[in-house]
């Protein structure tokens, strides 16, 4: 069974919109950095396996 593919740009836009709706000002670059740190953390704990490809 194929796993769903989530676009990082789609996720950044979603988070940015939610932040704006809730009165927070944050840049796309900051959101991307936070998501990158989250990914590194989860990988360091063995909770995810990072696969780099053309989609990301």
pLDDT, greater one: 1 or 38: 38
Positive or negative torsion for Cα 4, 45, 10, 18: positive
pLDDT of residue 53: 58
Q: Give the C-alpha separation, 16 to 12, whole Å.
A: 6
Positive or negative torsion for Cα 32, 38, 44, 48: negative
The pTM of the full predicted model, rounded to 2 decimals, is 0.75
Count Cβ atoms below 10 Å from residue 19 Cβ, excluding itself.
15
pLDDT of residue 6: 79
């Amino acid at each position: 069974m194929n796993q769903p593919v989530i676009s990082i740009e789609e996720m950044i836009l979603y988070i940015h919109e939610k932040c704006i709706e809730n009165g927070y000002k944050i840049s796309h670059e900051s959101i991307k950095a936070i998501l990158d740190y989250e990914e590194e953390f989860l990988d360091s704990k063995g909770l995810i396996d990072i696969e780099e490809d053309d989609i990301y």
